[in-house]
């Protein structure tokens, strides 16, 4: 993925500031449709790396959802540092 594509990356608001379960992460990967050099779709770990490069902050957490502890991530915009 080239740096121009990364810097212009747009994430739908439904995926921002909310718990992303495994299913939601798969939906986001499908939506973004990133591909590796061989043309295969990439999964969450690579997508996460691209999002961080694009200026998003990703926090991993384990909240209880419907009484079950789930592995989730939360995507937010990185706060601009004050100068």
User: How high is the pLDDT of residue 43?
Assistant: 95
Region for residue 2 given its phi and psi (left: phi exceeds 0; alpha: psi -120 to 50; beta: otherwise): beta
- Strand pairing report for 72-77 and 56-61: antiparallel
Query: What does the pLDDT read at residue 83?
Result: 41
pLDDT digits (tens, 9 = 90+) for 1-58: 555 455 567 888 999 999 999 999 999 999 999 999 999 999 999 999 999 988 999 9
pTM of the model: 0.82
Query: Tell me, what's the pLDDT at 77?
Result: 86
């Amino acid at each position: 993925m080239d740096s121009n594509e990364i810097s212009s990356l747009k994430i739908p608001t439904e995926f921002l500031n909310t718990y992303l379960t495994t299913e939601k992460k798969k939906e986001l990967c499908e939506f973004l449709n990133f591909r590796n050099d061989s043309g295969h779709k990439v999964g969450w770990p690579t997508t996460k790396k691209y999002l961080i490069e694009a200026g998003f902050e990703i926090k991993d957490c384990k909240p209880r959802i419907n009484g079950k502890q789930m592995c989730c991530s939360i995507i937010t915009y990185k706060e601009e540092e004050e100068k």
